[in-house]
Amino acid sequence: HVQQLEAEWVMRTTGVSADHLHQHQPGDTIKIGEVEICLVHTPGHTPGSQCFLVDNCLVAGDTLFLEGCGRTDLPGSNPEHMYDSLKTLEALPDKTVVFPGHRYSEPSSRTLDEVRQTNYVFKPKTKSDWLQWFS
């Protein structure tokens, strides 16, 4: 499963054919058994970065860590898109439990309310300020 924007890159770098990829648009949902997963497109670290929202749990991948966010200085990354993606995630309910793609800190998860209060990526309140910190 891949965001459509990143499908060409995935095919080119892995050799996987288009027939073996399920390409998605932002906001698509997939169902595995009785579990419904919302695909939240969060570009910034890569053009096709996405998080998975299941009930009140967010598998945040390389978009949001408990302390920090994915790098935006790599080929294909974009600090402006990362800011917009973080704003999308910031708007989720307080009780959403964030499970980052890397365990750079203890504990392994926190509520989004806790992450908003302690994670420095949420300190700048305007895109201009954020870009001064992270570009």
Q: In what order do the strands lie in the sheet with 29-32?
A: 29-32, 35-41, 50-54, 57-61, 97-100, 110-111
Ranges of the chain with pLDDT below 70: none
Task: Return the pLDDT at 112.
Answer: 98
Task: Return the pLDDT at 104.
Answer: 83
- Look at the chain and report how many structural domains it folds into: 1
CA distance 36 to 19: 23
Residue 106 counted as domain residue: yes
Q: Record the pTM.
A: 0.91
Q: What is the sign of the dihedral through the CA atoms of 22, 25, 26 and 32?
A: negative
Task: Return the pLDDT at 106.
Answer: 82
CATH of the domain at 44: 3.60.15.10
Give pLDDT tens digits for 92-114.
999 999 999 988 888 999 999 99
Identify the domain containing residue 38 by its residue range: 31-129
Task: Return the pLDDT at 19.
Answer: 95
Task: Return the pLDDT at 40.
Answer: 96
